[in-house]
Amino acid sequence: MGKNAIVGQSGGPTSVINSSLAGVYESCKSRGAEIVYGMRHGVAGLMEKNVVDMSALLKDDLDIELLKRTPSSFLGSCRYKLPDWQKDPATYEKLFGILEELDIGWFFYIGGNDSMDTIGKLADYGAHVGRDIRFMGVPKTIDNDLMVTDHTPGYGSAAKYIGVVMKEVIRDATVYGTKYVTIVEIMGRNAGWLTAAAALAKGPDCEGVDMICLPEVPFNVDRFVEKVAAMQEKKASIVIAVSEGVKLEDGRYVCELADDVHAVDAFGHKALTGTARYLANTIARRLNTKTRCIELSTLQRCAGHMTSRTDITEAYQVGGAAAKAAFEGHTGEMVAIKRISNSPYQSTTELHPISEVANLEKKVPLSWLNENHTQMTQEFIDYAKPLIQAELSPLYIAGLPHHIYVED
Amino acid sequence: MGKNAIVGQSGGPTSVINSSLAGVYESCKSRGAEIVYGMRHGVAGLMEKNVVDMSALLKDDLDIELLKRTPSSFLGSCRYKLPDWQKDPATYEKLFGILEELDIGWFFYIGGNDSMDTIGKLADYGAHVGRDIRFMGVPKTIDNDLMVTDHTPGYGSAAKYIGVVMKEVIRDATVYGTKYVTIVEIMGRNAGWLTAAAALAKGPDCEGVDMICLPEVPFNVDRFVEKVAAMQEKKASIVIAVSEGVKLEDGRYVCELADDVHAVDAFGHKALTGTARYLANTIARRLNTKTRCIELSTLQRCAGHMTSRTDITEAYQVGGAAAKAAFEGHTGEMVAIKRISNSPYQSTTELHPISEVANLEKKVPLSWLNENHTQMTQEFIDYAKPLIQAELSPLYIAGLPHHIYVED
């Protein structure tokens, strides 16, 4: 009898993370895994042996197809940070005990850089105790901030959503022909990839956003107000895309200037929110002009109704490539996407040691911004445009996209 | 030589108001209007003779098709309130002078109850001075708060968007399996039709929202917190849809309890925002639980990428029916949608005197809420469900919906 595989999802949901899950599942099955287990709520759930036989959840090809088109993490997620195994071996003994009990040969974790940290630690510990389980990381994050991979699955769909929404917001903002400043807050703590995607709105049928503020560029509130005032001289409706993570020169987040409470999560990350609201209120007060703030919030990461077919396809591919690599004996690695060419767009997958990815962040290169750091260059557009190409419509039933989900 | 027609759009944009514009335009053309003028920025623009020959903007059938699929107000909008003609005849003399200069025989205004007030006043004045211009109102508002019409064009698409987004938010909110309260703020100043649409999310593949708070029901903050606490005993993730316009028993808006500045528009309406944020902060503080607020804001009214085909089709029909009525001699009336049957859904149009519509608001009947006033009944679902049926995909070019627009 063959061994079993296990797969988990971790970190913030995306609209294509389930496509990667489908890729892992189908590839493991076709390669002869006896059972493919799913961790409920990632490694945190696994610690409590909260696992399911995925074939019980996915009964036929329609279920697989629905899975690919269902946003958010089908198996549930967690933000659990594994301790160092040198400091807390008991946690690892418990986890590996559970994996042994389940007769696991292949272990997959779909997530961002925190999740790759988990894969790295498990592979290290496994090698240390001489266990023959293969640990593979499958990249996922709308933030696009993972090293070594050209881009991350999840980014293309979020970028497409942002491009679409910015076009609609720009159309909406111009109707009155009166002075109006709209500030749209976009996710991205330290890397501005998502905010940069607002640049995609520009085209023959859209005047585009008037300013883009990335967290890579130190933010100065006075200069920001001056720039808006200057733009208002020429144009009634100003639409600005601002990252939730823009920081002052002294390192404080702009949103900390507002007076809301800011919680901290398990990884010590401050909750960032209120940047656009703070800036809209500041502009309204100082320039005596009508303003509005829009937070794309959760909507930008769970918009299963607006995915990029390129993204969904690649998400499926990286899942399959991870299974292939694990079955061929690889461990402690992450599948990356390698861009072969831009026109026509072609990509393939490759493997990288997890140490090149875990806990690192890839920022937007400043050379992809114009001199004033207010707009993206053509180089960025050439990079991002292929990732938002083509659509994959949800399966609509009675007017709404149909999803597949596991009851808790 | 025949006379000319003129059409304007007024009030907040929707994602199907341009489909009504296409209906008016094509129907006027086919009925023999020499020129169909478009008012730039509604009556406010007309006062400055800011009009365009629409055939110069719509060159072929593809343009008309794009117009139907482009959100926001193609011609621009305004929030201009006409004075009473008895008090300010000069304004009317000027306006009618411009209409005479343009040789207008038929006048159409697409908008909500404020816009119908405009149609009513113009028709009254026209009758008073014995001018033979036909004034017809074409209903439009995502708020669905117009009298006499079964529903308003624009509502079905916004309701569909809200149903889709709530399903996605619910999927996203459950992934961690931890206690989490999500509060989604939905438009609707005095009428809760849009917030009620959150009830559409519930189905075999979705657990639905846990509570719905309409502005028709007086809001009590303490009782709200108690209800949330009780729900949390049974379920980790709670998702609540709340109208921006919920009011305390003393008549103050809940959002006024927060400390933001609140502007007032030309019609004396207070800007409502911050309701969900205030409630999320209150819940977090009092129940010591993780919360999140999501404002659907402008996104819910300009989501051209997520329209109801039923809605787009009816929007076109009411435009055409208005032209037909005007050419047959009607004036001072609004086209309404009359529901013929629910299963199968069938509708037609009928005419109503503008006095039955202008400045009035249709609320959600309290009998369509459950006893606790926290959920919608099946009666509401039966009413709303047909309005969100079927899709009309945008024309995608290079990954983004293509729009048609007029440069200022």
Per-residue model confidence as pLDDT tens digits over B301-344? 999 999 999 999 999 999 999 999 999 999 999 999 999 999 99
What is chain B's mean pLDDT, rounded?
95
Over 80: is that where the pLDDT of B229 sits? Answer: yes
DSSP 3-state assignment of B201?
A: helix
- A29 with A130, same domain: the answer is yes
Mean pLDDT of B248-262: 82
User: How far away is chain B from the Cα of A400, in angstroms, using its nearest Cα?
Assistant: 6
Out of B73, B79, B176, closest to residue A41 by CB: B176
Q: What percent of chain B has pLDDT over 70?
A: 97
- A34 with A136, same domain: the answer is yes
Over 50: is that where the pLDDT of A118 sits? Answer: yes
Out of A76, A285, A403, closest to residue B175 by CB: A76
Over 60: is that where the pLDDT of B264 sits? Answer: no
A chain contacts of residue B72, beta-carbon cutoff 8 Å: 168, 171-172, 174-175
Backbone region of residue A401 per phi and psi (left: phi > 0; alpha: psi in -120 to 50; beta: other values):
beta
A chain contacts of residue B164, beta-carbon cutoff 8 Å: 305, 400-401
User: How far away is chain A from the Cα of B350, in angstroms, using its nearest Cα?
Assistant: 26
User: Is the residue at A147 inside a domain?
Assistant: no
Over 90: is that where the pLDDT of B1 sits? Answer: no
Give all strands (DSSP E) within B19-154, no chain letters: 36-39, 51-53, 104-111, 134-139
Among A300, A316, A332, the domain-final residue is A300
* A114 annotated active-site: no
Q: Do A13 and B171 touch (CB under 8 A)?
A: yes
What is the pLDDT at residue B261? 45
User: Is the residue at B106 inside a domain?
Assistant: yes
User: Is the residue at A150 inside a domain?
Assistant: no
- B209 with B91, same domain: the answer is no
Give the phi and the psi of residue B368 in degrees, each rounded to 5: -90, 10
User: How far away is chain B from the Cα of A127, in angstroms, using its nearest Cα?
Assistant: 30
Length of chain B: 408
User: Is the residue at A149 inside a domain?
Assistant: no
User: Is the residue at B387 inside a domain?
Assistant: no
Cα–Cα distance between B267 and B365 in angstroms, integer?
A: 25
- B281 with B319, same domain: the answer is no
Q: What percent of chain A has pLDDT over 90?
A: 93
Q: Do B72 and A390 touch (CB under 8 A)?
A: no
> Count of CB contacts below 8 A, A vs B?
201
The domain that contains A224 carries what CATH number? 3.40.50.460
Q: Which domain holds residue A318?
A: 4-141+306-359+390-401
User: Is the residue at A223 inside a domain?
Assistant: yes
Provide the number of structural domains found in chain B: 2
HSE toward the beta carbon, residue B162, CA cutoff 13 A? 37
What is the pLDDT at residue A408? 73
What is chain A's mean pLDDT, rounded?
95
What is the pLDDT at residue A267? 52
Give all strands (DSSP E) within A180-265, no chain letters: 180-186, 211-213, 237-243
- pTM for the whole structure: 0.97
ipTM of the complex: 0.96
User: Is the residue at A384 inside a domain?
Assistant: no
What is the pLDDT at residue B99? 98
Cα–Cα distance between A20 and A67 in angstroms, integer?
A: 10
B chain contacts of residue A404, beta-carbon cutoff 8 Å: 205
- A194 with A93, same domain: the answer is no
Mean pLDDT of B77-90: 95
Q: Do B165 and A78 touch (CB under 8 A)?
A: no
User: Is the residue at B83 inside a domain?
Assistant: yes
- B112 with B43, same domain: the answer is yes
Least confident of A136-150, B206-220, B263-277, B369-383: B263-277
User: How far away is chain A from the Cα of B252, in angstroms, using its nearest Cα?
Assistant: 22
Are the C-beta atoms of residues B296 and A319 closer than 8 Å to each other?
no
Cα–Cα distance between A164 and B399 in angstroms, integer?
A: 9
pLDDT digits (tens, 9 = 90+) for A223-237: 999 999 999 999 999
Are the C-beta atoms of residues B314 and B336 closer than 8 Å to each other?
no
B chain contacts of residue A298, beta-carbon cutoff 8 Å: 169, 172-173, 182, 292, 294
Which residue in A has a C-alpha nearest to residue B388's C-alpha?
A399
The domain that contains A327 carries what CATH number? 3.40.50.450
- B353 with B216, same domain: the answer is no
Mean pLDDT of B164-184: 96
Q: Do A302 and B260 touch (CB under 8 A)?
A: no
Contacts of A118 (CB under 8 A, 6+ apart): A10, A43, A81, A82, A109, A111
What is the pLDDT at residue A261? 45
- A130 with A28, same domain: the answer is yes
Both tokens assigned to B122: 């113009």
Q: Do B206 and A403 touch (CB under 8 A)?
A: yes
User: How far away is chain B from the Cα of A286, in angstroms, using its nearest Cα?
Assistant: 13
- B10 with B96, same domain: the answer is yes
Q: What percent of chain B has pLDDT over 90?
A: 93
B chain contacts of residue A200, beta-carbon cutoff 8 Å: 399-400
A chain contacts of residue B390, beta-carbon cutoff 8 Å: 396, 399
| Amino acid letter, residue B202 | K
- B69 with B99, same domain: the answer is yes
